[in-house]
Amino acid sequence: MLPTLRLANARKPLIRFIGKRQWPSKPEEQHPHPFAPPELKQHFADFLKKFQSSSATSSSSATAKNGSATGPVYEEFWQAPARYRKRELEEWEIDLVQSGGASVH
């Protein structure tokens, strides 16, 4: 038997992309989902106003009246209290997870 020469028939992909990929330089305008109910589409502008005002107030309410943050801010994980850190699992916890939460008793 003679080996076939498949080099002459170079593989061509079936998909062809037209043009280069171009991403928009700025995000598109916010709009309701195309399949949203009509009453939500009508009041979408009101929703945007409320959302933008609440996000502005929530960022300003993050600082207290004194100008300091409402709670402690930790730059690194080891600065946080021990209750927020990972801990070693005990044997009974590992067994419970491996059993899928089924009762061992």
Rounded CA gap, 72 and 67, in Å? 13
- Confirm whether 79 is domain-assigned: yes
- Confirm whether 30 is domain-assigned: no
Percent of the chain with pLDDT over 70: 76
- Confirm whether 91 is domain-assigned: yes
- Confirm whether 21 is domain-assigned: no
pLDDT in tens, 20-47: 888 889 988 999 999 999 999 999 999 9
- Confirm whether 85 is domain-assigned: yes
- Confirm whether 22 is domain-assigned: no
- Beta pairing partners, 69: 63
Answering whether pTM is above 0.85, one says no
- Confirm whether 78 is domain-assigned: yes
- Confirm whether 83 is domain-assigned: yes
Three-state DSSP class for residue 63: strand
Q: Which amino acid is at 96?
A: L
Domain count, the chain: 1
What's the mean pLDDT when you consider all of the chain? 81
Pick left, alpha or beta for residue 100 (phi over 0 → left; psi -120 to 50 → alpha; otherwise beta). Answer: left
Q: 84 lies in which domain range? A: 74-99
pLDDT in tens, 49-71: 998 888 776 655 555 455 555 78
